[in-house]
Structure 1
Amino acid sequence: MSGTGILLQPDDYAQANRFAFGDSPALADELLALVLAGTKTATCGALAHFGAGGEPLPEVGRQDVVLDGSGRPAAVIETIEVTIRRFDDVDAEFAHAEGEGDRSLAHWRREHERYFRRNGGFALDMQLVCERFRLVGRFERDRG
Protein backbone atom coordinates (compact mmCIF):
# COMPACT_ATOMS: atom_id res chain seq x y z
CA MET A 1 0.00 0.00 0.00
CA SER A 2 1.36 3.45 -0.91
CA GLY A 3 1.48 6.26 1.59
CA THR A 4 0.58 5.49 5.18
CA GLY A 5 -1.43 2.38 5.92
CA ILE A 6 -2.66 3.66 9.28
CA LEU A 7 -6.44 3.40 9.48
CA LEU A 8 -8.01 6.16 11.54
CA GLN A 9 -11.23 6.29 13.54
CA PRO A 10 -13.63 9.07 12.41
CA ASP A 11 -14.70 9.90 15.98
CA ASP A 12 -11.11 10.89 16.81
CA TYR A 13 -11.37 13.74 14.27
CA ALA A 14 -14.96 14.90 14.82
CA GLN A 15 -13.82 18.46 15.64
CA ALA A 16 -11.18 18.76 12.91
CA ASN A 17 -11.38 21.18 10.01
CA ARG A 18 -12.69 19.37 6.90
CA PHE A 19 -12.00 20.25 3.29
CA ALA A 20 -11.61 18.82 -0.20
CA PHE A 21 -8.79 19.72 -2.54
CA GLY A 22 -9.68 21.46 -5.82
CA ASP A 23 -12.92 22.94 -7.04
CA SER A 24 -14.82 19.92 -8.38
CA PRO A 25 -15.55 16.37 -7.24
CA ALA A 26 -13.30 14.96 -9.98
CA LEU A 27 -10.38 17.21 -9.02
CA ALA A 28 -10.92 16.44 -5.32
CA ASP A 29 -10.62 12.71 -6.05
CA GLU A 30 -7.60 13.19 -8.32
CA LEU A 31 -5.69 15.26 -5.76
CA LEU A 32 -6.71 12.98 -2.89
CA ALA A 33 -5.25 10.02 -4.79
CA LEU A 34 -1.95 11.91 -5.05
CA VAL A 35 -1.99 12.55 -1.28
CA LEU A 36 -2.74 8.89 -0.51
CA ALA A 37 0.07 7.78 -2.84
CA GLY A 38 2.52 10.11 -1.06
CA THR A 39 3.07 12.17 -4.21
CA LYS A 40 1.28 15.34 -3.06
CA THR A 41 2.81 16.84 0.09
CA ALA A 42 1.96 20.51 -0.48
CA THR A 43 -0.93 22.71 -1.47
CA CYS A 44 -1.73 26.40 -1.80
CA GLY A 45 -4.65 28.77 -1.89
CA ALA A 46 -5.28 32.44 -2.43
CA LEU A 47 -4.71 34.34 0.83
CA ALA A 48 -7.87 36.33 0.09
CA HIS A 49 -9.98 33.15 0.47
CA PHE A 50 -8.87 32.50 4.06
CA GLY A 51 -10.29 33.91 7.28
CA ALA A 52 -13.41 36.14 7.55
CA GLY A 53 -15.97 33.54 6.49
CA GLY A 54 -13.55 31.40 4.46
CA GLU A 55 -11.33 28.53 5.46
CA PRO A 56 -9.18 29.04 8.53
CA LEU A 57 -5.51 29.67 7.81
CA PRO A 58 -3.48 26.50 8.20
CA GLU A 59 -1.30 26.25 11.31
CA VAL A 60 1.76 24.09 11.86
CA GLY A 61 0.74 21.02 13.83
CA ARG A 62 -2.96 21.21 12.97
CA GLN A 63 -4.55 18.06 11.59
CA ASP A 64 -7.31 18.35 8.99
CA VAL A 65 -9.69 15.82 7.50
CA VAL A 66 -9.48 15.57 3.70
CA LEU A 67 -12.76 14.74 1.99
CA ASP A 68 -13.14 12.86 -1.27
CA GLY A 69 -15.18 14.16 -4.20
CA SER A 70 -18.38 12.82 -2.62
CA GLY A 71 -17.73 14.65 0.65
CA ARG A 72 -16.72 11.54 2.60
CA PRO A 73 -13.80 11.68 5.05
CA ALA A 74 -10.84 9.99 3.36
CA ALA A 75 -7.62 10.98 5.15
CA VAL A 76 -6.00 13.17 7.76
CA ILE A 77 -3.07 15.45 7.00
CA GLU A 78 -0.91 17.43 9.42
CA THR A 79 0.47 20.84 8.47
CA ILE A 80 4.26 20.98 8.82
CA GLU A 81 5.00 24.38 7.19
CA VAL A 82 3.07 27.48 6.18
CA THR A 83 4.48 30.37 4.14
CA ILE A 84 2.89 33.33 2.40
CA ARG A 85 4.36 34.16 -0.99
CA ARG A 86 3.44 35.73 -4.28
CA PHE A 87 2.27 33.50 -7.13
CA ASP A 88 5.32 34.44 -9.19
CA ASP A 89 7.65 33.60 -6.26
CA VAL A 90 6.56 29.95 -6.06
CA ASP A 91 9.60 27.84 -6.96
CA ALA A 92 10.16 24.51 -8.71
CA GLU A 93 10.66 22.70 -5.40
CA PHE A 94 7.22 23.71 -4.13
CA ALA A 95 5.60 22.92 -7.50
CA HIS A 96 7.18 19.45 -7.36
CA ALA A 97 5.85 18.91 -3.82
CA GLU A 98 2.33 19.74 -5.02
CA GLY A 99 2.65 16.53 -7.05
CA GLU A 100 0.43 17.44 -9.99
CA GLY A 101 0.93 16.70 -13.67
CA ASP A 102 4.60 16.33 -14.60
CA ARG A 103 5.46 18.13 -11.33
CA SER A 104 7.24 20.95 -13.20
CA LEU A 105 7.01 24.64 -12.35
CA ALA A 106 5.64 25.35 -15.86
CA HIS A 107 2.77 22.88 -15.33
CA TRP A 108 2.13 24.25 -11.83
CA ARG A 109 1.93 27.84 -13.09
CA ARG A 110 -0.35 26.99 -16.02
CA GLU A 111 -2.80 24.88 -14.01
CA HIS A 112 -2.85 27.13 -10.95
CA GLU A 113 -3.46 30.22 -13.07
CA ARG A 114 -6.47 28.42 -14.59
CA TYR A 115 -7.66 27.39 -11.14
CA PHE A 116 -7.39 30.89 -9.67
CA ARG A 117 -9.10 32.47 -12.70
CA ARG A 118 -12.03 30.07 -12.16
CA ASN A 119 -12.15 30.89 -8.45
CA GLY A 120 -12.13 34.63 -8.02
CA GLY A 121 -9.28 36.03 -10.03
CA PHE A 122 -5.62 35.80 -10.83
CA ALA A 123 -2.60 38.12 -10.71
CA LEU A 124 1.10 37.32 -10.82
CA ASP A 125 1.56 39.22 -7.55
CA MET A 126 -1.39 37.61 -5.73
CA GLN A 127 -0.55 36.35 -2.25
CA LEU A 128 -0.74 32.58 -1.71
CA VAL A 129 -0.85 30.53 1.45
CA CYS A 130 1.63 27.75 0.70
CA GLU A 131 1.30 24.74 2.96
CA ARG A 132 3.39 21.60 3.30
CA PHE A 133 1.85 18.62 5.04
CA ARG A 134 2.33 14.99 5.89
CA LEU A 135 -0.22 12.21 5.60
CA VAL A 136 -1.21 11.02 9.09
CA GLY A 137 -3.50 8.19 7.97
CA ARG A 138 -6.62 7.28 6.10
CA PHE A 139 -10.19 6.37 6.94
CA GLU A 140 -11.60 3.05 5.88
CA ARG A 141 -14.11 3.76 3.14
CA ASP A 142 -16.79 1.67 1.48
CA ARG A 143 -15.61 1.00 -2.06
CA GLY A 144 -19.19 0.40 -3.25
Structure 2
Amino acid sequence: MDENIQTFWHQFCKKHNLNENTPVEAWAFGANQKYANELASLVDKEIKTATTSAYELYGKDEKLPKVGEWSIILDGNAKPVCVIKDVCVEIIPYNLISQEHAYHEGEGDCSYAYWRTVHDEFFTRKYKERGKIFYSQAPMVCEVFEKVK
Protein backbone atom coordinates (compact mmCIF):
# COMPACT_ATOMS: atom_id res chain seq x y z
CA MET A 1 0.00 0.00 0.00
CA ASP A 2 1.48 3.35 -0.97
CA GLU A 3 1.86 6.25 1.43
CA ASN A 4 -1.27 8.14 0.24
CA ILE A 5 -3.43 5.07 0.76
CA GLN A 6 -1.89 4.37 4.18
CA THR A 7 -2.51 7.97 5.26
CA PHE A 8 -6.10 7.76 4.00
CA TRP A 9 -6.65 4.53 5.99
CA HIS A 10 -5.06 5.91 9.16
CA GLN A 11 -7.31 8.99 9.00
CA PHE A 12 -10.35 6.78 8.39
CA CYS A 13 -9.46 4.54 11.35
CA LYS A 14 -8.99 7.53 13.64
CA LYS A 15 -12.37 9.01 12.60
CA HIS A 16 -14.17 5.68 13.15
CA ASN A 17 -12.30 4.50 16.25
CA LEU A 18 -10.84 1.51 14.42
CA ASN A 19 -7.51 -0.07 15.19
CA GLU A 20 -5.09 1.05 12.46
CA ASN A 21 -3.99 -2.57 12.14
CA THR A 22 -7.49 -3.60 10.99
CA PRO A 23 -6.97 -5.56 7.77
CA VAL A 24 -7.92 -3.68 4.60
CA GLU A 25 -7.46 -4.16 0.88
CA ALA A 26 -7.12 -1.29 -1.58
CA TRP A 27 -8.37 -1.91 -5.11
CA ALA A 28 -10.21 -0.45 -8.09
CA PHE A 29 -13.27 -1.65 -9.96
CA GLY A 30 -13.24 -2.08 -13.72
CA ALA A 31 -10.82 -3.21 -16.37
CA ASN A 32 -9.33 0.20 -17.16
CA GLN A 33 -8.85 3.73 -15.84
CA LYS A 34 -12.11 5.06 -17.29
CA TYR A 35 -14.23 2.35 -15.67
CA ALA A 36 -12.30 2.56 -12.41
CA ASN A 37 -13.15 6.27 -12.22
CA GLU A 38 -16.80 5.77 -13.16
CA LEU A 39 -17.38 2.88 -10.77
CA ALA A 40 -15.51 4.50 -7.86
CA SER A 41 -17.71 7.57 -8.32
CA LEU A 42 -20.86 5.40 -8.24
CA VAL A 43 -19.67 3.79 -5.00
CA ASP A 44 -18.83 7.15 -3.48
CA LYS A 45 -22.34 8.42 -4.35
CA GLU A 46 -23.79 5.20 -2.85
CA ILE A 47 -25.38 4.25 -6.15
CA LYS A 48 -23.21 1.16 -6.56
CA THR A 49 -23.60 -1.08 -3.50
CA ALA A 50 -22.90 -4.50 -5.03
CA THR A 51 -20.49 -6.26 -7.33
CA THR A 52 -20.01 -9.64 -8.99
CA SER A 53 -16.83 -11.61 -9.68
CA ALA A 54 -16.23 -15.04 -11.18
CA TYR A 55 -15.52 -17.65 -8.50
CA GLU A 56 -13.62 -19.86 -10.95
CA LEU A 57 -11.23 -17.05 -11.87
CA TYR A 58 -9.88 -16.51 -8.36
CA GLY A 59 -6.26 -17.63 -8.09
CA LYS A 60 -5.18 -20.35 -5.67
CA ASP A 61 -3.59 -17.76 -3.36
CA GLU A 62 -6.38 -15.21 -3.81
CA LYS A 63 -8.85 -15.10 -0.95
CA LEU A 64 -12.57 -14.76 -1.44
CA PRO A 65 -14.29 -11.74 0.09
CA LYS A 66 -15.97 -12.20 3.46
CA VAL A 67 -18.68 -10.38 5.38
CA GLY A 68 -17.13 -7.69 7.56
CA GLU A 69 -14.08 -7.08 5.41
CA TRP A 70 -12.96 -3.53 4.69
CA SER A 71 -11.83 -2.18 1.31
CA ILE A 72 -10.47 1.13 0.13
CA ILE A 73 -11.88 1.88 -3.30
CA LEU A 74 -9.39 3.50 -5.63
CA ASP A 75 -9.99 5.60 -8.73
CA GLY A 76 -8.26 5.06 -12.07
CA ASN A 77 -5.15 6.84 -10.79
CA ALA A 78 -4.90 4.56 -7.73
CA LYS A 79 -6.05 7.37 -5.43
CA PRO A 80 -8.37 6.49 -2.51
CA VAL A 81 -11.99 7.54 -2.99
CA CYS A 82 -13.90 5.88 -0.14
CA VAL A 83 -14.10 2.88 2.19
CA ILE A 84 -16.60 0.06 1.93
CA LYS A 85 -17.46 -2.88 4.17
CA ASP A 86 -18.90 -6.17 2.89
CA VAL A 87 -22.31 -6.92 4.41
CA CYS A 88 -23.27 -9.97 2.31
CA VAL A 89 -21.24 -12.42 0.24
CA GLU A 90 -22.88 -15.32 -1.62
CA ILE A 91 -21.85 -17.69 -4.38
CA ILE A 92 -24.66 -17.87 -6.94
CA PRO A 93 -24.85 -19.37 -10.44
CA TYR A 94 -24.60 -16.57 -13.00
CA ASN A 95 -28.01 -17.29 -14.53
CA LEU A 96 -29.67 -17.04 -11.09
CA ILE A 97 -28.33 -13.61 -10.13
CA SER A 98 -31.35 -11.49 -9.32
CA GLN A 99 -32.62 -8.30 -10.89
CA GLU A 100 -32.24 -6.74 -7.45
CA HIS A 101 -28.53 -7.56 -7.33
CA ALA A 102 -28.09 -6.15 -10.84
CA TYR A 103 -29.90 -2.98 -9.77
CA HIS A 104 -27.63 -2.57 -6.75
CA GLU A 105 -24.56 -2.81 -8.98
CA GLY A 106 -25.69 0.68 -10.05
CA GLU A 107 -24.32 0.64 -13.57
CA GLY A 108 -25.90 2.06 -16.73
CA ASP A 109 -29.67 2.39 -16.34
CA CYS A 110 -29.60 -0.13 -13.42
CA SER A 111 -31.73 -2.56 -15.43
CA TYR A 112 -31.17 -6.30 -15.50
CA ALA A 113 -30.92 -6.16 -19.31
CA TYR A 114 -28.08 -3.63 -19.16
CA TRP A 115 -26.31 -5.54 -16.39
CA ARG A 116 -26.61 -8.84 -18.24
CA THR A 117 -25.30 -7.44 -21.54
CA VAL A 118 -22.27 -5.80 -19.92
CA HIS A 119 -21.48 -8.77 -17.70
CA ASP A 120 -21.94 -11.37 -20.47
CA GLU A 121 -19.28 -9.51 -22.46
CA PHE A 122 -17.01 -8.99 -19.47
CA PHE A 123 -17.08 -12.57 -18.21
CA THR A 124 -16.81 -14.05 -21.72
CA ARG A 125 -13.62 -12.02 -22.21
CA LYS A 126 -12.20 -12.81 -18.76
CA TYR A 127 -12.83 -16.56 -19.08
CA LYS A 128 -11.27 -16.54 -22.57
CA GLU A 129 -8.16 -14.79 -21.20
CA ARG A 130 -7.75 -17.76 -18.84
CA GLY A 131 -8.31 -20.33 -21.59
CA LYS A 132 -11.80 -21.15 -20.36
CA ILE A 133 -15.30 -20.88 -21.77
CA PHE A 134 -17.87 -18.82 -19.89
CA TYR A 135 -21.19 -20.60 -19.27
CA SER A 136 -24.50 -19.45 -17.83
CA GLN A 137 -24.30 -21.54 -14.65
CA ALA A 138 -20.78 -20.33 -13.76
CA PRO A 139 -20.50 -19.72 -10.00
CA MET A 140 -20.27 -16.04 -9.17
CA VAL A 141 -19.20 -14.27 -5.99
CA CYS A 142 -21.93 -11.71 -5.33
CA GLU A 143 -21.00 -9.03 -2.81
CA VAL A 144 -23.20 -6.41 -1.22
CA PHE A 145 -21.36 -3.63 0.57
CA GLU A 146 -21.95 -0.32 2.23
CA LYS A 147 -19.92 2.84 1.96
CA VAL A 148 -18.75 3.83 5.41
CA LYS A 149 -18.92 7.59 5.88
TM-score by length of 2: 0.79
Q: Letter of the 2:27 partner, please give it.
A: F
Give the CA deviation at 1:22: 1.1
Higher helix share: 2
Higher relative contact order (CA 8 A, sep 6+): 1
Stretches of structure 2 lacking an aligned partner (at least 5 in a row): 1-6, 14-19, 129-133
Offset from partner CA, 1:98-131 (integer Å, 9 cap, x none): 0011111111110001111222242111110000
Residue among 48, 62, 72 paired with 2:79? 72
Counterpart check, 1:116 vs 2:123: yes
Counterpart check, 1:38 vs 2:46: yes
- 8 Å Cα contact 2:8/2:80 also seen in 1: no
* RMSD, aligned CA: 1.8
Residue among 79, 87, 94 paired with 2:101? 94
Q: Pairwise mapping of residues 1-144 of structure 1 onto structure 2 (< 5 A)?
A: 9-11=8-10, 12=13, 15-54=23-62, 56-121=63-128, 122-137=134-149
Stretches of structure 1 lacking an aligned partner (at least 5 in a row): 1-7, 138-144
Give the CA deviation at 1:96: 0.5
Q: Which runs of structure 1 show a deviation greater than 4 angstroms over 4 or more consecutive aligned residues?
A: none
Q: Letter of the 1:119 partner, please give it.
A: K
Identity across the alignment (%)? 36
Q: Letter of the 1:28 partner, please give it.
A: A
- 8 Å Cα contact 2:47/2:104 also seen in 1: yes
TM-score by length of 1: 0.82
Aligned length: 129
| In structure 2, C-alpha distance between the alignment counterparts of 1:49 and 1:64, rounded to whole Å | 20
Answer with 1 or 2: which has the greater Rg.
2
- 8 Å Cα contact 1:31/1:40 also seen in 2: yes
| In structure 1, C-alpha distance between the alignment counterparts of 2:56 and 2:78, rounded to whole Å | 24
